[in-house]
A and B are shown apart, each in its own frame.
Chain A
């Protein structure tokens, strides 16, 4: 199976900050990379698919980039509702998720 490694595992940030989360695959997955947001007690929500395409209804402050093995999720200006855990997931082969990055209030 393809291993997905996210960094950092957690971060503290303030409203208005620019936040970047990285995800690395154990082998090339071309652009088959998705990002999800999960809030406590809730189901995950798709944010980004195909590494850089914004899912319908997701605010434009979220963006994704990368290809091959290295990917990035960026929140351009952190909002109060963005405090959550973020997961990357590869869809190149049998799906696997990263371990998650928890974004907390500073």
Chain B
């Protein structure tokens, strides 16, 4: 069974940093691209970042470029999101998701349960 379990969320002050983790199981993690998607309270889904299977290629939404860094450790079956210079508008539930086997890139077939990040003083 495919499982994605996020951790690392919490309350952080504006300008602070946080690192999210997403532990994967139930599939061959090193073969899949992975994504982060966020959802502000009561709002819609916003794509944040993705990383390819071996970690050599990454992409970011303009809103987080230069502040967030996605990475992965295929030996630990884990993808990370390092978030620096956090702003109030980064407050959201952050989901990790797998880029599936559909033949279409950026089609997210499995999602974690999400971890809440709150940026507030």
Contacts and interface: CB of A to CB of B under 8 A. Distances in A.
B71 to A, nearest CB: 19
Nearest to B50: A95
A96 interface: yes
A50 B106 contact: no
Given A43-B113, A44-B111, A94-B59, A49 B104 contact: yes
Nearest to A53: B102
A99 interface: yes
B11 interface: no
Interface string A22-60: 000000000010101010001111100110010100000
Contacts, number: 62
Interface in A45-77: 45-46, 49-50, 53, 55
A34 B107 contact: yes
Interface of B: 35, 37, 44-47, 50, 59, 61-62, 95, 100, 102-109, 111-114
Q: Which 10 A-B pairs have the closest CB atoms?
A: A43-B111, A91-B106, A95-B47, A97-B45, A49-B102, A49-B107, A95-B106, A100-B44, A46-B109, A99-B44
Interface of A: 1, 32, 34, 36, 38, 42-46, 49-50, 53, 55, 87, 89, 91, 94-100
